[in-house]
Amino acid sequence: MKILVMNPNSTTSMTDKIVESARQKASAGTTIIGASGTDSPASIQGHHDEALSVPGLIKRLQQAEQEGIDGVVVACFDDPGIGACREVFSGPVIGICEAAVKAASMISTSFSVVTTLPRSVPVIEDLIHGYGLSHRCRKVRSAAIPVLALEEADSGAREKVRDEILRAVREDNCEAVVLGCAGMADLTEWLTAETGVPVIDGVTVATRMIEALVGCGLKTSKIGAYATPIQH
């Protein structure tokens, strides 16, 4: 099985980290193909960045469709362009926010999310509302760090994420914590060890969920909203 793990932003060090995380958790027979955004911002911090990342994302998926890729993970917690991706690709496509919050609701009755910047909080709240899981989400929190601080070893970012997770457990009465940025994927085990609560990373969960859907022979439905785009 071949899965494309697409980092919609253009920071290749982040792509490498994401792909490495996906590979570590993927099944034996799965090939993970990584890709970064082209003509895309270096990080996705808000709707503008998200919007600019989507055309490149679509183009890469159209190519993936030709290459015999079986399924796609969109590795940005804002779940950019998922509808468009599902239109241009036959196999299943999932964003890491959707994967992570659905997984969280399978192993807990409530979760909180810890993301990077405060401006992403309402974006994620809206996604969760759309996925129907607002009643399972105690709070979306920000660790007040820029996305790319996660790429710098000595930025203190990982400690800030850990501290925010501990605050979430203490103040929100949540039973699990979802990492609200693809750039946190490599921290999952360390954060789990430090905090003692289930910490859910969307990149790995999404990769395994795509494996699950492909393994069951499921493809995106083409009889409604996700039909192939009309030729103009």
Q: CB of 231: closest distance to a second copy in angstroms?
A: 10
Q: CB of 31: closest distance to a second copy in angstroms?
A: 14
Residues 6+ away with beta carbon under 8 Å from 190? 158, 162
> Which 4-23 positions form the footprint of a second copy (CB under 8 A)?
none
Residues 6+ away with beta carbon under 8 Å from 183? 14, 17, 18, 116, 147, 148, 150, 151
Q: What is the rounded CA–CA span in Å between residue 173 and residue 81?
A: 32
> Which 153-212 positions form the footprint of a second copy (CB under 8 A)?
169, 173-176, 189, 192, 197-198, 200-201, 204-205, 208-209, 211-212
> Which 27-86 positions form the footprint of a second copy (CB under 8 A)?
27-29, 41-43, 45-52, 54-55, 58, 81, 83-84, 86
Instruction: Indicate the SS3 state at residue 186.
Output: helix
Q: What is the rounded CA–CA span in Å between residue 107 and residue 204?
A: 16
Letters for 100-129 (x = contact with a second copy by CB under 8 A, - = none) are --xx-xxxxxx-------xx-xxx-xx--x
Residue pair 220/226 in contact by the 8 Å Cβ criterion: yes
Q: Is 2 among the residues that bind a second copy (CB under 8 A)?
A: no
Q: What is the rounded CA–CA span in Å between residue 158 and residue 76?
A: 18
Q: Is 25 among the residues that bind a second copy (CB under 8 A)?
A: yes
Among residues 34, 37, 92, 183, which is the contact residue for a second copy, using CB under 8 A? 92
Q: How many residues bind a second copy (CB under 8 A)?
A: 85
Instruction: Indicate the SS3 state at residue 17.
Output: helix
Q: CB of 11: closest distance to a second copy in angstroms?
A: 10
Q: CB of 87: closest distance to a second copy in angstroms?
A: 5
